[in-house]
A and B are shown apart, each in its own frame.
Chain A
Amino acid sequence: MNARRALGVAVGLLVAASCVPGPFERLNPYDPNASITGRLEVLTDTVSAYLEIAEVRLITEPAFDVDALPPTWVSDQSAILTPIEGGRFQLISTPTVPTSVTVRAIYPSFTATAVIVAGRP
Chain B
Amino acid sequence: MSISIKVDKVSKSFGKKQVLKDISLEIEEGKIYGFIGPSGAGKTTLVRLIVGMDRPDSGTITVLNKQVPSMEILPEIGYMAQSDALYNDLTGEENLKFFASLYKLNKKQQKERIEYAASLVNLNSDLKRRVSVYSGGMKRRLSLAIALIQDPKILILDEPTVGIDPELRVGVWQELKRLRDEAGKTILVTTHVMDEAEKCDYIGMVRDGSLITKGTPKQLKEFYQAGNLDEVFFKAGREFQ
Partners in one complex: no
By a beta-carbon cutoff of 8 Å, the part of chain B in contact with chain A is none
